[in-house]
């Protein structure tokens, strides 16, 4: 099995987009749909809270939330950044999500606390260095909760390479691999 660092995974994605010609929005749609199907298969009809960041991982979160809701699941969606900070392919999927009649709120601890399962799509492979506010405080809150946490690709705050895991990184109960396994899964 091939294991990659974050930069290698970005190169694989770049190759798929630039050389093969697969639109990045399609890659995001596929990743989100596969993750949602995995969640439905393995976790059943529980109450979910999807926590969404501004990057590609957050775009996956909009797809996951949409698929879960289209299949009748109870889902709260909380977005961490201000709406205007969500750009690119993630913004595209946010707009599809909203145009499908669904809604989200800015992050609030209450929906996360009342959910059976928290789906983490806040930060992805681009994380470097110390975790900053508001994520540091959010991760601290989430790490104290008893809810099951499913992270998509990597637990938020965990680097994709062999760097040390920051003290306040999110502690996931399950991680759904997107693409290839990352080095940090094994360090």
* CA dist., res. 184 & res. 104, Å (int): 31
Of 98, 112, 131, the residue nearest 50 (C-alpha): 112
Residues in the chain: 187
84 with 57: CB under 8 angstroms?
A: no
- Is 129 annotated for ligand binding? yes
Is 173 part of any known ligand binding site? no
**Residue 86: phi, psi to the nearest 5?**
-85, 120
Consult the annotation and say whether 60 binds a ligand: yes
**DSSP sequence for 125-136:** TT--SSPPTTHH
66 close to 29: Cβ distance less than 8 angstroms: no
24 is an annotated ligand-binding site residue: no
Find out whether 130 is annotated in a ligand binding site: yes
Please tell me whether 47 is known to bind a ligand. no
Residue 135 is assigned to a ligand binding site: yes
61 marked ligand binding residue: no
The reply, when asked if residue 156 is annotated as ligand binding, is yes
User: Does residue 57 have a known ligand-binding role?
Assistant: yes
Is residue 21 marked as binding?
A: no
Q: Is 153 annotated as a binding residue?
A: yes
Binding site, annotated residues for (6S)-NADPHX: 56-60, 124-130, 135, 153
Indicate the annotated binding residues: 56-60, 120, 124-130, 135, 153, 156
Q: Which residues are annotated as a binding site for K(+)?
A: 57, 120, 156
């Amino acid at each position: 099995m091939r294991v990659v660092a974050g930069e290698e995974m970005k190169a694989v994605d770049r190759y798929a987009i630039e050389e093969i010609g697969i639109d990045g929005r399609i890659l995001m749609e596929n990743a989100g749909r596969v993750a949602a199907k995995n969640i439905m298969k393995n976790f059943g009809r529980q109450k979910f809270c999807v926590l969404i960041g501004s990057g590609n991982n957050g775009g996956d979160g909009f797809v996951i939330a949409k698929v879960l809701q289209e299949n009748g699941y109870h889902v709260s969606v909380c977005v961490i950044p201000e709406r205007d900070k969500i750009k690119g392919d993630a913004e595209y999927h946010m707009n599809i999500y909203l145009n499908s009649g669904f809604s989200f709120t800015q992050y609030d601890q209450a929906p996360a606390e009342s959910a059976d399962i928290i789906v983490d799509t806040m930060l992805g492979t681009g994380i470097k260095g110390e975790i900053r506010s508001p994520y540091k405080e959010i991760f601290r809150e989430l790490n104290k909760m008893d809810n099951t946490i499913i992270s998509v690709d990597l637990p938020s705050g965990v680097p994709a390479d062999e760097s040390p895991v920051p003290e306040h990184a999110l502690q996931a109960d399950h991680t759904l691999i997107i693409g290839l396994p990352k080095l940090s899964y094994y360090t």
